[in-house]
Amino acid sequence: MARTTGKELLRNPTLNKGTGFTAEERDELGLRGLLPYNRCSQQVQMERILGHFRRKESDIERYIALNALQDRNEQLYFRVLMEYVDELMPIVYTPTVGQACREFASIYRRPKGFYISPDDRGHVRRMLDNWPEDDVRVIVVTDGERILGLGDLGSNGMGIPIGKLALYVSLAGIHPSWCLPVMLDVGTGNSELLKDPLYMGWPHERVRGDAYDALMEEFIAAVTDRWPHVLVQFEDFETTNALRLLDVWRDRTLCFNDDIQGTAAVTLSGVLAATRVAGTPFEDLRILFVGAGSAATGIGHLMASAFVEHGLSAAQAKRRLWFVDSKGLIVKDRGDDLAPHKQSFAHDHAPMQLEEAIEDIRPNVLIGATGAPGTFTESVVRKMADVNERPAVFALSNPTSQAECTAEEAYAWSGGRALFASGSPFAPVEYEGRTYHPAQGNNAYIFPGVGLGVIACRAERVTDTMFMAAAKRLASLVSDEQLERGALYPPMKNSRQVSLEVAHAVAEVAFTEGLARAERPDDLRRVLRDMQYDPSY
């Protein structure tokens, strides 16, 4: 194969180093005269990029600037993300990625990822040969129907797989060439998009039923034929499909759903950390969920398993978990009104609304997964503070605009006693002379490490036991000093080490459960560390 040189090299983002090419490289690669004289180190290049980035007036402009950097110099892009993760992750992913998806058609520049539509039925395996990488190990796929808390954005939802895989690379060190974002573009129920002349997706109402399932079946068969050990992450599917697809595929292929299992693990981790502050043993907790979709019930199932690990029976564990949906407390008297995924959490109890439920159940932990901002009103938070010295309040809906309450509200309404976590980031809060650092229960603490661990041991399946191990390992990484400041999770700047620890816990489970196809190494941490991509040059 001919070597890439000259202008063609400078146009190739995986090879281009821009002004970072040395004099010797410029001479050897046909670049003399094509670049300014002075060779800039990668550190200087980062300073230039950050100066440009920080001069932008809006987060969406910052998103576009980073996207453009990835299009021209991939190594520099990932080096900047790694070094400045606290500042840049809210741009690359939530909350800014939500706006980027809304505006995807108008900010589109260059193609990233792979698109499959109903018109491609019968051709998907052949189409995959168009993808240039022969060693894909992680796929993030969405159908765009439930993008964050924003609803059906159709093929504009491609911003989510792109963003997730950027975090796989920057936080866990998965090599960029191993990553493939996929949009299963089966149409949209968003009439505004269908009328938009800029919309680039398959311009029809959503395909459902047998035709949808047949396309998914063909997709899974095609990707596992081309890349037999690939991990498939389902992302931002509507509740019914999310639960159904996970149930169909979890025992048939290497896959997981981050909205269900990743969210469950990061939430369990935050609750475990909160017990160290509140002083209530985990097995004594009562947990009230507001929202009963796939994310909330996924958390509930992992919590139930954790209660059983702490000595409760399965029936006792379920009795610790209560759910409120749009119609009130989920109780058995509602009968046929309950969707199947809610039925296992229905109790023999009088029907009641949220505030009455708090007074009656006296939960230690309140978890919001509603996508409805303002659900945790002042009265709700004050009632939680009335029944707990240190109430745990988790407002998990994304993006920030959809959070059930803000960090400032949680601290103010609880008299500074709340143990607060959110799905999207909030800035530090000053309250009565003290600075609180709100915890962000971001799935980015979990899924990149899960991916690294699964890849490293060549796992056959992803199990709930792996997510349990990931949650416990993450909780163990939070120091007493961090808890004192209100941070229920370790600093995001430590994400590489966090992901390595999560990967280690996941791989250990795979080896123990006999699900690893790789030989168990003498030094698993070293193997994991050696796998991590380094974008420096």
Q: Please, are residues 492 and 503 in contact by the beta-carbon 8 Å criterion?
A: no
Active-site residue, 112 included: no
Q: Which superfamily does 261-444 belong to?
A: NAD(P)-binding Rossmann-like Domain (3.40.50.720)
Asked if the domains 91-253 and 261-444 are classified in one and the same CATH topology, the answer is yes
pLDDT tens-digit readout, 426-439: 999 999 999 999 98
Q: Which CATH number fits domain 91-253: 3.40.50.10380, 3.40.50.1260, 3.30.450.40, 2.102.10.10?
A: 3.40.50.10380
pLDDT tens-digit readout, 150-166: 999 999 999 999 999 99
Q: Binning pLDDT at 50, 70 and 90, where does residue 247 land?
A: very high
d(CA 447, CA 164): 9
Report the top-level CATH class of 1-40.
mainly alpha
Active-site residue, 93 included: yes
| Per-residue pLDDT at 138 | 98
Q: Select which of 93, 168, 212, 489 is catalytic.
A: 93
Q: Binning pLDDT at 50, 70 and 90, where does residue 2 land?
A: confident
Sign, Cα dihedral of 347, 348, 353, 354 = negative
Place of tokens 């369990």: 268
d(CA 466, CA 455): 13
Check residue 178 and report its DSSP letter.
Answer: G
d(CA 147, CA 154): 9
One-character DSSP codes across 363-382: -SEEEE--S-TT-S-HHHHH
> Can you list the pairs that 191-196 forms with residues at least 24 positions away whose Cβ atoms lie under 8 Å?
193/152, 193/153, 193/154, 193/156, 196/105
| Per-residue pLDDT at 473 | 98
Residue 450 has pLDDT above 80, yes or no: yes
Residue 365: beta bridge partners?
287, 392
Q: Please, are residues 287 and 364 in contact by the beta-carbon 8 Å criterion?
A: yes
Task: Tell me which residue of 441, 439, 446, 419 sits closest to 276, measured CA to CA.
Answer: 419
User: Which phi and psi (to 5°) does residue 511 adopt?
Assistant: -65, -40
Residue 139: beta bridge partners?
180, 232
d(CA 444, CA 167): 7
Task: Tell me which residue of 461, 460, 495 sits closest to 477, measured CA to CA.
Answer: 495
| Per-residue pLDDT at 1 | 60
The structure's pTM equals: 0.94
Sign, Cα dihedral of 179, 221, 519, 264 = positive
Residue 399 has pLDDT above 90, yes or no: no
pLDDT tens-digit readout, 215-245: 999 999 999 999 999 999 999 999 999 999 9
| Per-residue pLDDT at 210 | 97
Half-sphere exposure in the Cβ direction for 215 (13 Å, CA): 21
Q: Binning pLDDT at 50, 70 and 90, where does residue 336 land?
A: low
The burial class, CB within 10 Å (0-12 / 13-18 / 19+), for 27 is exposed
User: Which phi and psi (to 5°) does residue 459 adopt?
Assistant: -65, 150
d(CA 455, CA 400): 32
| 458-464 mean pLDDT | 98
Ordered by start, the domain boundaries in the chain are: 1-40, 91-253, 261-444
Neighbours of 514 (CB within 10 A): 7
Q: Binning pLDDT at 50, 70 and 90, where does residue 269 land?
A: very high
Q: How far is CA 266 from the centre of its chain?
A: 10
Q: Select which of 17, 63, 164, 383 is catalytic.
A: 164
Check residue 331 and report its DSSP letter.
Answer: B
pLDDT tens-digit readout, 486-534: 899 999 999 999 999 999 999 999 999 999 999 999 999 999 999 999 9
| Per-residue pLDDT at 430 | 95
**What Rg value do the Cα atoms of the chain yield, rounded?**
23
Half-sphere exposure in the Cβ direction for 84 (13 Å, CA): 19
pLDDT tens-digit readout, 301-322: 999 999 999 999 999 999 999 9
